[in-house]
Structure 1
Amino acid sequence: MSDAEREAQWRRWRSVADLYHACFTGLVLTLVSRRGTADAAEFVFRVFRRQQQERFVAGLAKLGIAHLPPAVAAAQYHYLSNWIGGVHVEYMHESDRKAWIRYPPPRWIWRGTAICGVPGEVSKAMLRGWHGNNGIALGHPSLGFVCTKQSVDGQDGLEGYYYDYDHPLEPDQRVVFARHLEAPLFDAAQAPALPVESWPRPRLEKAYRNYAMEYVRTAAPVAVQLFGPVDASYLLHLTGKLIGMQSYDDLAPGLGETGRDAAGFARLLQALLAAQDDAVDLQGTGGGFELRQDGWKLMDGVADAHPVCVRMLEGLVEGLAAACGRRITVGLAQPEGPSSLVWSVR
């Protein structure tokens, strides 16, 4: 692969990352506006707790920081893993028992104007789901997280510190607030760094894409389990369609397919599916185009993936088609179940 081809592939991966990032943020906002703050907060709690249980301990080993004191390891994990995903984050070491993290503005997860629609309880649910469970995951129940600021409350970032209290904490003590405190200033020279030899740019570019896609991989089944397949089908499809309609103009150039007719959209859909590692075959038919997709690889290995999870992808494609051209129609069939998706474009 030439340098130009590699750069083009990385642009496609980043376009996919932006799209899936928007899908997750959009789903949270859909829940806030359609189901209310309590349901949105419970959803965010479950998503982040599930990710924390699946990724945190294994991630410490991948990053080479499992040997560090619990407070330091937890804070460095957030710094390094979020850095890989393109998230602005800072790390400040105070002692082996106390280490800070800070997410300065702009917040990655609530990009742009989305932050105006996120209640404080939803942000707190993220902390309860992940940050408050790191000590338990490490077998170190004395580790807690103290939050000093929340961006969604109008403060200049989300920040706080991990602290080892030297005694086991009750569940309601694992995340507490101390709004009168403020993080030390960030010094990039003192921050941890990834080992370059094991994290070359191709690996980082793919990890950047996967970081955003993982949110949808987790969120779709959580939505089904929390709200049931009927309501989740509506919420996932609606979110996907809205995000697709809003994202076409940004996505198409990144994928290198800007044609505004059925043929152009079929090529764009093929490029999108390929850029998210799905095997797809495009063929012309008498009345348009047909794309055969060998399942949705994102959901491979998800034990509780329900068939309606694909409704987010279906809505996304419908929304992209609507923004591409008013007269373009898209249909989805699953002749062999979830393992075979057949798209028709006319």
Structure 2
Amino acid sequence: MSDERAAWDAVGDWYHAWFTGIVLTAVSRRGARDAAELVFGIFRRQQRERFLPGLEKLGIAGLPPAVAAARYHYLSNAIGGVGVEYVEESPRKAWIRYPPPRWVWPGAAICGIPSEVNAAMLRGWHANNGVMLGCLRLGFVCTGQTVDGQPGLEGYYFEHDRDLAPEERLRFARGERMPRFDPATAPHLPADDWPAERIAKAKRGYAMEYARTAMQEAVALFGPMEGGHLLGLAARLVAMQLYAETAAALGTSTFAEFMVAMATAEGDAADAAPQDDGSIIVTRRGCALLRGVADPHPAMMAAWEDLLVGALAAADRFAVLERVGPLAWRVRPGE
């Protein structure tokens, strides 16, 4: 089980890095405004698909709006392996804080994220929780952003005495500070409903969901040609950078083994069949990353395949990867 969890973690790190790379590639190639719109779309799509069902799964539906919204962020992010803190001041005011290091922009990547791009995450999700909950009095007040040099992304949900206009649902108040976090008073997941194996799989799925949503939004926002190019470039760059450490985490020594191990760790069956000409054909029985995407555009599949292209470039730049079926590839050794 420990090897299996290590493989799940490796997959999570792989797709987490691709997601961050997609955003950084948008910033560097298209500018902060386009990158902000991409991030807004990613988080609004995720909120639309995940927020209300997540309240039920986490057992927090029916709580006061401010408390339910803040607890959702605390519990769901904790499942994903994200550092997060929570303080409930009253039924109408509840804080959340993401202390450094920030999961979403790991390591030095945070230096490349403009303030407006990070704020787009809040516009896309946090500012819209009241709308989703049917409580237009609920807004989010951001009191700090790590990308601006402040010690964490933090803020609070507050239920006002009147309905808020759309532009009032996100406000910045730099002079306020979240009280000190006490883990003993924080909400927790029911242990019977969330055993360790379920949490480990959910952590893997958390990172994959970000990559999946980014693929959909990039193609929808920039079009299949430009969006697909951006996704594919980020995929190749990230895969070249991460191949060695990911292969080591999976315990693989050949590229075909790497492909099979990645598929297995993602939840798909796969096999590698040696051929008479010295090549190996690797076949997957599914693509977990695109599972659940209704009619995915071919540009998404091509961008995902660029992860393999980048990984092979790092493993052996003379080797060749050739697709021979919908989810089958021939790996030809380098000469």
User: Any idea what the Cα deviations from partners look like across 1:215-250, whole Å, max 9, x if unmatched?
Assistant: 011110111111111111211111110000110121
Alignment match, 2:281: 290
Count of aligned pairs? 331
User: Any idea what the Cα deviations from partners look like across 1:244-268, whole Å, max 9, x if unmatched?
Assistant: 01101210121110x2xxxx11011
1:216 aligns with 2:216: no
Alignment match, 1:328: 319
User: Any idea what the Cα deviations from partners look like across 1:255-309, whole Å, max 9, x if unmatched?
Assistant: 110x2xxxx1101111011111122221011231011223423212212521111
- CA deviation after TM superposition for structure 1 residue 319, in Å: 1.3
Describe the SS at the equivalent of 1:197: coil
1:131 to 110, 126, 129: 126
Alignment match, 1:165: 160
Q: Which runs of 5+ in 2 are unaligned?
A: none
Alignment match, 2:175: 180
What percent identity do the matched residue pairs reach? 55
User: Any idea what the Cα deviations from partners look like across 1:126-147, whole Å, max 9, x if unmatched?
Assistant: 0000000100000111100000
> Does the aligned pair in 2 maintain the 1:292–1:342 contact within 8 Å?
yes
Describe the SS at the equivalent of 2:317: coil
| CA RMSD, Structure 1 to Structure 2 (Å) | 1.0
- CA deviation after TM superposition for structure 1 residue 332, in Å: 2.5
Alignment match, 1:13: 8
TM-score (norm 2): 0.97
Describe the SS at the equivalent of 1:281: strand
1:92 to 67, 87, 94: 87
1:343 aligns with 2:334: no
1:275 to 260, 265, 280: 265
Q: Distance in 1 between matches of 2:139 and 2:28?
A: 32
Q: Distance in 2 between matches of 1:329 and 1:158?
A: 44
Describe the SS at the equivalent of 1:198: coil
* Aligned residue identity for 2:236: K
Q: Distance in 2 between matches of 1:160 and 1:332?
A: 48
Alignment match, 1:314: 305
Q: Which runs of 5+ in 1 are unaligned?
A: 1-5
TM-score (norm 1): 0.94
Q: Distance in 2 between matches of 1:265 and 1:298?
A: 20
Alignment match, 2:225: 230
Q: Distance in 2 between matches of 1:265 and 1:304?
A: 30
Q: Distance in 1 between matches of 2:284 and 2:156?
A: 45
Describe the SS at the equivalent of 1:229: helix
**Cα–Cα, structure 1 residues 84 and 266, in superposed 2: closer, same or farther, change >3 Å?**
same
> Does the aligned pair in 1 maintain the 2:271–2:283 contact within 8 Å?
yes
Q: Distance in 2 between matches of 1:311 and 1:92?
A: 44
> Does the aligned pair in 1 maintain the 2:229–2:303 contact within 8 Å?
no
> Does the aligned pair in 2 maintain the 1:314–1:332 contact within 8 Å?
no
User: Any idea what the Cα deviations from partners look like across 1:169-191, whole Å, max 9, x if unmatched?
Assistant: 10100001000111101001110
User: Any idea what the Cα deviations from partners look like across 1:88-130, whole Å, max 9, x if unmatched?
Assistant: 0000011100000000000000000100000000011000000
Alignment match, 2:43: 48
> Does the aligned pair in 2 maintain the 1:266–1:345 contact within 8 Å?
yes
Q: Distance in 2 between matches of 1:111 and 1:300?
A: 26
How do 1:7-156 and structure 2 match up within 5 A? Answer: 7-156=2-151
2:199 to 187, 193, 204: 204
Describe the SS at the equivalent of 1:278: coil
| Greater displacement, 319-328 / 58-67 | 319-328
| Greater displacement, 298-307 / 6-15 | 298-307
* Aligned residue identity for 1:231: E
